[in-house]
Amino acid sequence: MMGPVWASKVPGGDRLVDAFVAAATGNGVPEVEDFNTGEQEGVGYYQLSTRRGLRCSAAVAYLKPARGRPTCTSRRRPMPGVCCSATGGRPGWNTVRAAPC
């Protein structure tokens, strides 16, 4: 299942990268098709957190869609001396409360 943070594969076919991958695999380095499957040691094309050519950060994936909800308030500059803590609510939901540190 794909979550809100998009992952897109870098398109293959770059001659320089293909030559680098071929040289590495020719010297015993394993080729990795997907670095997100658990095996991280090797050489290959990476996946990027992008969607339609733009970076898809956690803020873009989670906060931007929630901004219009009446139950969501976000601040760009946190108040000094205030800490936030998340508590579990319904499954899959968190309640964040601000309190003095």
The predicted-structure confidence for 44-93, as pLDDT tens digits, reads as follows 888 888 877 778 887 778 777 777 777 776 666 666 666 655 555 554 55
**What domain range includes position 76?**
8-100
Would 2 be classed as within a structural domain? no
Would 3 be classed as within a structural domain? no
CA angle 52, 72, 5 (to 5 degrees): 25
Listed ranges 22-31, 33-42, 75-84; the one with the highest mean pLDDT: 22-31
Average pLDDT (2-8) is 73
Would 21 be classed as within a structural domain? yes
Residue in 42, 43, 41, 52 with CA at minimum distance from that of residue 6: 52
pLDDT on residue 87 = 58
Would 56 be classed as within a structural domain? yes
Rounded Cα gap, residues 26 and 12, in angstroms: 19
Residue 25: φ, ψ to 5°: -65, -30
Would 28 be classed as within a structural domain? yes
User: What total of structural domains would you count in the chain?
Assistant: 1
Average pLDDT (4-16) is 78
CA angle 32, 38, 40 (to 5 degrees): 45
